[in-house]
Amino acid sequence: MSELPALKILIADDEAPARNRLRELLAEIPGTVITGEARNGMEALTLAEQEPPNVMLLDIRMPRMDGIEAAEHAQKLTPPPSIIFTTAYDTYAMQAFELNAVDYLLKPIRRERLANALKKARALLPEQLSEIRQLRPPRTHFSATERGRILLIPLADVIYLRAELKYLTVRTHEREYLIDESLTHIEEEFSDLFVRLHRNCLAARASILGFEKRHEADGESHWVALLKGVPDILPVSRRQQHIVHEIKR
């Protein structure tokens, strides 16, 4: 009888003792192999691309990118890894995980509990991710997939987002990306960062240089937004003209 392939596991925790503890426990569990160790969610995603894991053990609270945001971006890997969160005692998080059938391990982690969690580990469903987003601070990145890779796009680099068919085009100084998200949801999530110029377009408040009134040959006129660092000019719809006076430059 051929042996089952080893379960590939990626560890992400910003505390070295916690990573050491998981490494020692996994050494005692047959059929597991560690593919990498990360100190935050961004490192975890980079390692996951280099050697795709079957399971990601993600600490909830980490600098630069927390475990829940990393789990969201990791769902774009093919196939997406199973996710198990690790956490110190956090009643709110534990209740949310249990309510939505999300696997978690309470620190200090015990070998039997880890072994059992690995046996039933599974990828998160979209509705599970949606329910536990409330546990994380505001995300720091959008993500796009390109030739099988996850490209992280810092929110601070985004100049504007434009809806086109089923995707959004994200414009930065360097290039454009396509992401599969809702413009309305982004507007609700980041109302302090982005403002709606048109029903199909959000612009970063910090990227708006000012507004200019353009006159057409037929006598009609309309406002456009001028942007920092790119030649693109974005039209402002009549419904949104109030922002011309609200945003002072």
- pLDDT per residue as tens digits for the range 29-52: 999 999 999 999 999 999 999 999
The packing angle between helices 67-74 and 41-50, to 10°, is 30
DSSP code at position 219 = S
> What CA–CA distance (Å, rounded) separates 86 from 67?
9
**Average pLDDT score over the chain:** 92
pTM score? 0.87
The CATH architecture to which 7-135 belongs is 3-Layer(aba) Sandwich (3.40)
Residue ranges of the domains in the chain? 7-135, 141-246
CATH match of 141-246 with 2.30.30.90: no
> What CA–CA distance (Å, rounded) separates 145 from 152?
9
Tokens 């995980």 sit on residue: 97
pLDDT category at 246 given cuts 50, 70, 90 is confident
> What CA–CA distance (Å, rounded) separates 202 from 23?
45
**The pLDDT value given to residue 219:** 67
